[in-house]
Amino acid sequence: MRHTVAAIQMISSPSVPDNIATADRLVRQAAAGGAQLVLLPEYWAIMGINDADKVAVAEPLGQGPIQDFMAGLAKELGIWLIGGTLPLASSDPLKVVNTTLVYNPQGESAGRYDKIHLFGFSQGTESYNESKTIVPGKNLGVLDAPFGKVGMSVCYDLRFPELFRAMGPVSLIVLPAAFTYTTGQAHWEILLRARAIENQCYVLAAAQGGMHPNGRRTWGHSMLIDPWGTVKSVLAEGEGVVTGEIDPAFMEGVRQSLPALKHRTM
């Protein structure tokens, strides 16, 4: 049986209420289009003027307006909602955990993944260092969904194929991201298609996509890729919804005709 999934693309601002309103509108649009699983982008709830802005709105696990919104919306719409990333409070008052939370159609917490690999980049006047305000995660994130196992990853994780191998065979990899325009233009689609091809599964990527109030420009190009590496749907820039189908029979056909996963020796 095929299942419809959707990725939400946003241009998040420093205002949590404004971002919640945008996410609400776009997730409802996705659900109205038949999506049973909806993925929000990384930093969907806040893209601050400064890196430390997210620390000020960090929520303890299980409570807060961001988590309440996601749980309530998942229940109301009867969907699986994967909440991109939001800032969760950590043991360090100056840092957060960049966390993906999953809610099932009953609005219950169904999974969690804390971003493991923290982005660092410097080229000319463009510089990023997530480790200044984020505590890295340590554990894999895999959950059971109606159409099979889902492996969770976030943005910079995309560059580390060993993370995806460690998940074991999955039907879908989800990747919320806020790729910079520079690195996205060079590597985004290539890496996403590689992860789909080598793991013979679907990849759903939800990105930030545009010019943000803080002056940062993100690459966008949210997309769904099938197990053969074909881009099934994509949105280049701006707010919107990318929708497509997960077809377990097609995935199984790819794995049978080219049984690379069975041929692994290490």
> Active-site residue numbers?
42, 115, 155
b or e along 17-53 (b: 16 or more beta carbons within 10 Å of the residue's beta carbon)? eebbebbeebbbbbbeeebbbbbbbbbbbbbbeebeb
Q: Give Dmax over CA atoms of the chain in angstroms.
A: 52
Residues 6+ apart with CB under 8 A from 135: 90, 91, 92, 95, 96, 97, 114
Q: What is the 3-state secondary structure (H, E, C) of 137-159?
A: CCCCEEEEECCEEEEECCHHHHH
Query: Which amino acid belongs to residue 43?
Result: Y
Quote the DSSP letter at residue 119: P
Helix (H) or strand (E) holding 194: helix 189-199
Question: Tokens in use for 99?
Answer: 């966390």
Residue bearing tokens 């590496």 = 229
Task: Report d(CA 49, CA 126) in Å as an integer.
Answer: 15
Using the Cα atoms of residue 155, residue 149, residue 103 and residue 10 in order, give the sign of their dihedral.
Answer: positive
Strands 231-235 and 222-225: antiparallel
